[in-house]
C-alpha cells in the first residue's frame, strides 16, 4: 500500500476505525509522524488530542522511527526467571541505548515485550522476525557483533 | 484442490442436498438424493483427510509459534527440497502446536498402512536421514522417536512407545486441544471430518436458544479467562437484556506474561473457536461479533483471517447460516498492545477506538456493553469448550472435573521445568502432578521452590500447598487464582522478592492510570520492594533501616487498599504477587530486610563481587567494561574489585571470558 492511499479504505468519521487506521499508518511509515496523526484526526473527525491520547496509550505505537534491526526482548515470567533482565542489560550496554530507544546510526532499536510465547527457549529475543533462544549475556555479545558486521 | 464444498456441489442433484444438511451429508447422516458417485468421492476424501487410506506418505511439521521459533520453517523447507531432489512423491503439510514445546521441532510421518510416528527435536540436518530411513526403508529413526499414535498396526515397529503413554501426555486429557498439532489448522475440511461444526448444525436444526443456554449451564462451563464466572449464566443475562442489537466478543488479548494457551488454540484449531462463537451468538441472539486478538500474535491473526473466509464460503458464518435464517457476522480486531485490554470493559473501549481504560461495573457488559448494547465477552478457551459440550452433551462434559469446576483446563507450563509445554488436564489434577508427572520435574537436580499460577494477578505457591487439586475455589483458598493458565515453575535460584518486584514493574507500567489506587499504589509497592533489593551508601544509618522496616509494615496495608478500592480486575488483583509471596516466603523478605542479603543470589546489589586471582589472566576486559572504574590491576596480572566503589551492575562478570569473577 502506498503512502497516499492509506486512508481510502477507511470510512470517514467512524471513531472505531481509529486504531486500525493508526496501525495501517505505522505499517506504511514505520512509526507515526506528526503530520500523519493530524491527517488521521481530520479523517476520523476527532480532535488531534484524542489521536495522540490513543497513540501514546498503546505499546504498539511509536512516535519515533525505528532502527534497521528491531530487537524485541521478551520480558515474560518464564524468560525473567531464566535471566532475561541480564540479557536486556547486556544489550543496552552493548548498544549504548536504553530499551525503547534507537541507536544514532538507526541500525538498532531495543524494545521489550510482555511475552512472545516461546517459553520453551527462554530467554528469547526476536531480531526483526528471527527468534534467538536459550541466550546468555555472552551469546548476546556474539550475536550483536554478527549484526553489527552485517551492517 | 479438493474440498467438501466442491464434492457436494458437483453432485448433479445438488439441489437435493439442502444447505441445512451440508454437515450431515459429510457425516453421512443425511443420504437422501445423494448419488453413489458422490458418496464414494466423499468417503475417499474423508479417508484421505483422516490419513486412514493413503496413497503416498504424509509429512506433518508442527509450525506453531514455538515450533517456528525453534526453526520449523527451515525443517519444512529442507523436507521440501530433499523430496524434490530425490523425486519422492509425498505430501507435506503444517500443523499447529501439539503442546510439547520442549521437544520442538516435532515432525510426524504417516506412511500408508503404518501408524503415524512422531519425531522430536528435528533439525534441518536430520532431514536426509529421516527421509532415507523412514520414507525409503520404512523404518523408524529410533533416537528421534517421540512416540507412535495408537492406531491399527501401531505394533508394527517393536519397542516404540505409544505417544499417549509417554509421561508428558499420560495424565493429560485432551478435549479442547484434541486437534491441536494433529490437523492442518488452515484446512476447514480437516476440522469438519473430526466432527467439527456438527454441534452447530444440530442446534440450528433442533434446539431453541434457551435450550442451548440450559445445556451450557448444565455442563457447568465456567469462564476460562480467569474469573470463572458461569458461562451459561452470562449468556442468559445477555439473552434477557433488551437492546436493538447484541454483540459477542472473543477475548483473545492474552497478555499474561508466560501464558500462551489461547495462541496455541487460535493457531492450532481456529475453527473450534469460530464454531463456539456462532453457537454462543445463536444462544444470546447476537448478529455481530468481534475477535479481539493481540497484535503480537501475527500467525494467529493470519490463520483467523483464513478461517473466517473459509467458514463464510461454507455457509457456516455470515448470512443465513446453514439455511436456518440465523446470521452472524464476525470481524477481527487487532489489539495494540495493552495488558489492561484483557479486562472486558477496557476491551470494549478499545474496540470503540478509545484508550483502553476500564469502565465502572455495573452496568455489566451483558446489559450495556459495546456501543451501549448487551454484549457477551468470553475468552478463547471458553469458546473452544462450547462445540464439544453441544456435540457430546452436558452430562458427558460435567463428568470431567471436580464438584465446582467442570471440564479441563489448559496450562502453559514454563520456567524451571524439564518439559516446557502446553498441558490440558482435568480440573482437580494437583499442581504436583502437573509439575512432576507432566513437567518431568526440575532440571539440573535443583530444588523446587514455587509455582506462579495465574500470571500477574495470581500468586506464587510453595511446595506445602502443591498437593491441592486445582479448581477455581481451591486456588482462591490458597491465595492464588486460576487466571488464564500460566504456570511458571521456579527453583531455588529464583528470588521471591525479585519476582514480586518483577510483577510490580509489569503491573505498574501496564496500569492504565484511570484510578488512583492502582496507578499510585502499584508504584509505591514497587518502590518499597525495590528498596529492599538495593544497597545504599548510608546502609547502616539507623534511620534508613527504620524506613525500610516501616516500608515493609505498610506494604501489607497498601496491598489491601489496592485490592479493595481499585476500579477493575487488574487493579483488584495487582497486589496478589506481593501478598502471596509475603504469605509463603516471608523469610526471604526478612533476609533482605534485616540481614541485607539475597538468599537466592539474585538481587545483585546485595551481593559482593570478587575476582578469583588464580583464574584471572589480567586481560583487562573487566576493568574496561566497569562503568565506575571499580576494578584495578596491571595488564597480565590478577585484577581486584574495590567493593566500596562497585555498583554491582554485573558487567564484569558477564564479560569475563575466564569465569574468574564470582559473587558472595
- In this prediction, residue B154 has a pLDDT band, given cuts at 50, 70 and 90, of low
**pLDDT value of position B262:** 92
**pLDDT value of position B426:** 96
- Residue A41 confidence (pLDDT) above 80: yes
Task: Find out whether B141 and B63 touch, Cβ atoms under 8 Å.
Answer: no
Closest CA to B425 of B177, B226, B163, B196: B177
| Chain B nearest CA to A55, separation (Å) | 9
Kindly list the structural domains of chain B, giving each domain's residue range(s) and its CATH number in brackets, ordered by start. Answer: 4-49 (no CATH), 58-170 (3.40.30.10), 188-398 (3.40.50.11540), 408-494 (3.10.20.600), 497-593 (1.20.1440.230), 608-663 (3.30.70.20)
B459-462 and B448-453 strand pairing: antiparallel
- Residue B10 confidence (pLDDT) above 60: no
Whether residues A119 and B255 touch (CB distance < 8 A) is answered with no
For residue A17, list chain B residues with Cβ-Cβ distance below 8 A: 353
**Exposure string for B76-85, b = 16+ CB within 10 A, e = fewer:** bebbeebbee
- In this prediction, residue A51 has a pLDDT band, given cuts at 50, 70 and 90, of very high
Mean pLDDT for the stretch of residues B502-525: 93
Place of cell 474423508: B46
Q: What is the pLDDT of residues B304-355, one digit of tens each?
A: 999 999 999 999 999 999 989 999 999 999 998 888 999 999 999 999 999 9
Q: Compare CB distances from B336 to A17, A61, A81 and report the shortest one's residue.
A: A61
**pLDDT value of position B16:** 60
- Residue B428 confidence (pLDDT) above 50: yes
* ipTM metric: 0.89
For residue B420, list chain A residues with Cβ-Cβ distance below 8 A: 78, 119-120, 122
- Residue B14 confidence (pLDDT) above 60: no
Please tell me if residue A48 touches chain B, with a CB cutoff of 8 Å: no
- Residue B15 confidence (pLDDT) above 60: no
Mean pLDDT for the stretch of residues B556-564: 94
Q: What single string gives the DSSP state of each residue in B253-275? A: ---STT--HHHHHHHH-HHHHHH
- Give the Cβ contact number of residue B636 at 10 Å: 10
Closest CA to B423 of A119, A116, A126: A119
Whether residues B337 and A60 touch (CB distance < 8 A) is answered with yes
**pLDDT value of position B189:** 94
**Of B257, B442, B622, which to mutate for an interface test with A (greatest number of A Cβ within 10 Å)?**
B257
Q: What mean pLDDT, rounded, does chain A reach?
A: 89
- Residue A1 confidence (pLDDT) above 70: no
Answer positive or negative: Cα dihedral of B364, B365, B369, B373.
negative
CA dist., res. B420 & res. B427, Å (int): 20
Give the residue extent of every domain in chain A.
5-57, 69-150
- In this prediction, residue B12 has a pLDDT band, given cuts at 50, 70 and 90, of very low
Please tell me if residue A63 touches chain B, with a CB cutoff of 8 Å: no
| Chain A nearest CA to B416, separation (Å) | 8
**pLDDT value of position B518:** 95
**pLDDT value of position B4:** 87
The pTM of the full predicted model, rounded to 2 decimals, is 0.91
- Residue B93 confidence (pLDDT) above 60: yes
Closest CA to A110 of A71, A53, A65: A71
Q: Any idea which of A97-111, A117-131, B376-390, B446-460 has the lowest mean pLDDT? A: A117-131
- For chain B, what is the radius of gyration of the CA atoms? 28
Helices (H) and strands (E) counted in chain B, each on its own, are: 27, 18
| Chain B nearest CA to A62, separation (Å) | 11
**pLDDT value of position B464:** 94
Mean pLDDT for the stretch of residues A2-27: 88
Whether residues B655 and A86 touch (CB distance < 8 A) is answered with no
Please tell me if residue A80 touches chain B, with a CB cutoff of 8 Å: yes
- Residue B1 confidence (pLDDT) above 60: no
- In this prediction, residue B480 has a pLDDT band, given cuts at 50, 70 and 90, of confident
CA dist., res. B627 & res. B649, Å (int): 9
CATH class label, A69-150:
alpha beta
Place of cell 461454507: B314
**pLDDT value of position B439:** 94
Q: What is the pLDDT of residues B529-559, one digit of tens each?
A: 998 998 877 777 888 888 888 888 889 999 9
Q: Compare CB distances from A120 to B101, B295, B334 and report the shortest one's residue.
A: B101
CA dist., res. A113 & res. A136, Å (int): 18
For residue A133, list chain B residues with Cβ-Cβ distance below 8 A: 69-70
Place of cell 496495608: B557
Please tell me if residue A141 touches chain B, with a CB cutoff of 8 Å: yes
Place of cell 528469547: A124
Task: Find out whether B209 and B194 touch, Cβ atoms under 8 Å.
Answer: no
**pLDDT value of position A103:** 92
**pLDDT value of position A115:** 79
| Chain B nearest CA to A138, separation (Å) | 7
Q: What mean pLDDT, rounded, does chain B reach?
A: 91
Mean pLDDT for the stretch of residues B68-72: 88
What's the half-sphere exposure (Cβ side, CA atoms, 13 Å) at B25? 27
Q: What is the pLDDT of residues B238-277, one digit of tens each?
A: 999 999 999 999 999 988 887 889 999 999 999 999 999 9
Amino acid at each position: 500500500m502506498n503512502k497516499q492511499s492509506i486512508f481510502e479504505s477507511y470510512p470517514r468519521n467512524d471513531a472505531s476505525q481509529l486504531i486500525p487506521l493508526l496501525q495501517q499508518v505505522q505499517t506504511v511509515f514505520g512509526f507515526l509522524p506528526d503530520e500523519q496523526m493530524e491527517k488521521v484526526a481530520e479523517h476520523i473527525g476527532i480532535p488531534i488530542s484524542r489521536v495522540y491520547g490513543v497513540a501514546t496509550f498503546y505499546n504498539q505505537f511509536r512516535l519515533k522511527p525505528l532502527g534497521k534491526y528491531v530487537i524485541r526482548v521478551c520480558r515474560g515470567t518464564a524468560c525473567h526467571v531464566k535471566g532475561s533482565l541480564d540479557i536486556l542489560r547486556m544489550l543496552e550496554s552493548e548498544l549504548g541505548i536504553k530499551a525503547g530507544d534507537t541507536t544514532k546510526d538507526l541500525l538498532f532499536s531495543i524494545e521489550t515485550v510482555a511475552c512472545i510465547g516461546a517459553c520453551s527457549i527462554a530467554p528469547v529475543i526476536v531480531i526483526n522476525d528471527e527468534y534467538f533462544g536459550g541466550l546468555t549475556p555472552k551469546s548476546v555479545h556474539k550475536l550483536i557483533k554478527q549484526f553489527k558486521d552485517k551492517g | 484442490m479438493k474440498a467438501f464444498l466442491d464434492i457436494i456441489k458437483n453432485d448433479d442433484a445438488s439441489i437435493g442436498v439442502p444447505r441445512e444438511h451440508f454437515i450431515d451429508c459429510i457425516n453421512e447422516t443425511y443420504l437422501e438424493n445423494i448419488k453413489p458417485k458422490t458418496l464414494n468421492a466423499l468417503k475417499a476424501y474423508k479417508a484421505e483427510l483422516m490419513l486412514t487410506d493413503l496413497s503416498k506418505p504424509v509429512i506433518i511439521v508442527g509450525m506453531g509459534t514455538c515450533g517456528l521459533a525453534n526453526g520449523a520453517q527451515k525443517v519444512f523447507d529442507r523436507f521440501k527440497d530433499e523430496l524434490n531432489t530425490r523425486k519422492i512423491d509425498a505430501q507435506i503439510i503444517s500443523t499447529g502446536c501439539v503442546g510439547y514445546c520442549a521437544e520442538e521441532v516435532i515432525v510426524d510421518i504417516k506412511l500408508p498402512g503404518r501408524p503415524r510416528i512422531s519425531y522430536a527435536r528435528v533439525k534441518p540436518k536430520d532431514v536426509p536421514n529421516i527421509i532415507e530411513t523412514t520414507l525409503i526403508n520404512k523404518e523408524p529413526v529410533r533416537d528421534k522417536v517421540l512416540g507412535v499414535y495408537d492406531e491399527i498396526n501401531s505394533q508394527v515397529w517393536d519397542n516404540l512407545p505409544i505417544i499417549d503413554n509417554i509421561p508428558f501426555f499420560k495424565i493429560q486429557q485432551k478435549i479442547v486441544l484434541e486437534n491441536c498439532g494433529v490437523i492442518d489448522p488452515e484446512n476447514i475440511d480437516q476440522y469438519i471430518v473430526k466432527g467439527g461444526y456438527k454441534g452447530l448444525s444440530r442446534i440450528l436444526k433442533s434446539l431453541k436458544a434457551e435450550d442451548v443456554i440450559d445445556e451450557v449451564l448444565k455442563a457447568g462451563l465456567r469462564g476460562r479467562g480467569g474469573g470463572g464466572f458461569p458461562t451459561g449464566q452470562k449468556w442468559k443475562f445477555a439473552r434477557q437484556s433488551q437492546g436493538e442489537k447484541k454483540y459477542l466478543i472473543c477475548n483473545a488479548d492474552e497478555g499474561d506474561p508466560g501464558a500462551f494457551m489461547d495462541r496455541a488454540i487460535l493457531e492450532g484449531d481456529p475453527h473450534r473457536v469460530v464454531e463456539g462463537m456462532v453457537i454462543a451468538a445463536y444462544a444470546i441472539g447476537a448478529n455481530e461479533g468481534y475477535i479481539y486478538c493481540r497484535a503480537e500474535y501475527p500467525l494467529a491473526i493470519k490463520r483467523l483471517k483464513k478461517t473466517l473466509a473459509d467458514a463464510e464460503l461454507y455457509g457456516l458464518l455470515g448470512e443465513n447460516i446453514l439455511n436456518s435464517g440465523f446470521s452472524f457476522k464476525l470481524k477481527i480486531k487487532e489489539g495494540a498492545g495493552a495488558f489492561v485490554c484483557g479486562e472486558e470493559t477496557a476491551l470494549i473501549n478499545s474496540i470503540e477506538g478509545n484508550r483502553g481504560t476500564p469502565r465502572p461495573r455495573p452496568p455489566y457488559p451483558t446489559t450495556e456493553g459495546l456501543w451501549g448494547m448487551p454484549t457477551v465477552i468470553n475468552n478463547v478457551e471458553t469458546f473452544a469448550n462450547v462445540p464439544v459440550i453441544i456435540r457430546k452433551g452436558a452430562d458427558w462434559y460435567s463428568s470431567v472435573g471436580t464438584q465446582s469446576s467442570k471440564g479441563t483446563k489448559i496450562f502453559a507450563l514454563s520456567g524451571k521445568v524439564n518439559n516446557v509445554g502446553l498441558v490440558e488436564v482435568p480440573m482437580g489434577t494437583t499442581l504436583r502432578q502437573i509439575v512432576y508427572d507432566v513437567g518431568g520435574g526440575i532440571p539440573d537436580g535443583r530444588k523446587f521452590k514455587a509455582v506462579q499460577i495465574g500470571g500477574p494477578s495470581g500468586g506464587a505457591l510453595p511446595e506445602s500447598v502443591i498437593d491441592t487439586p486445582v479448581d477455581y475455589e481451591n486456588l482462591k483458598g490458597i491465595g492464588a487464582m486460576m487466571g488464564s493458565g500460566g504456570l511458571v515453575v521456579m527453583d531455588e535460584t529464583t528470588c521471591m522478592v525479585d519476582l514480586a518486584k518483577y510483577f510490580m514493574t509489569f503491573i505498574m507500567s501496564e496500569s492504565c492510570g484511570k484510578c488512583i489506587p492502582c496507578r499510585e499504589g502499584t508504584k509505591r509497592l514497587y518502590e518499597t520492594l525495590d528498596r529492599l533489593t538495593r544497597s545504599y551508601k548510608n546502609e547502616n544509618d539507623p534511620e534508613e533501616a527504620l524506613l525500610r522496616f516501616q516500608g515493609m509494615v505498610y506494604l501489607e496495608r497498601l496491598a489491601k487498599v489496592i485490592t479493595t478500592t481499585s476500579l477493575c480486575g487488574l487493579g483488584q488483583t495487582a497486589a496478589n504477587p506481593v501478598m502471596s509471596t509475603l504469605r509463603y516466603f516471608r523469610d526471604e523478605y526478612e533476609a533482605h530486610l534485616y540481614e541485607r542479603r539475597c538468599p537466592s543470589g539474585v538481587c545483585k546489589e546485595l551481593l559482593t563481587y570478587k575476582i578469583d586471582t588464580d583464574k584471572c589472566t589480567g586481560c583487562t576486559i573487566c576493568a574496561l567494561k566497569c562503568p565506575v572504574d571499580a576494578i584495578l590491576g596491571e595488564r597480565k596480572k590478577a585484577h581486584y574489585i574495590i567493593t566500596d566503589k562497585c555498583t554491582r551492575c554485573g558487567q564484569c562478570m558477564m564479560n569475563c571470558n575466564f569465569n574468574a569473577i564470582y559473587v558472595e
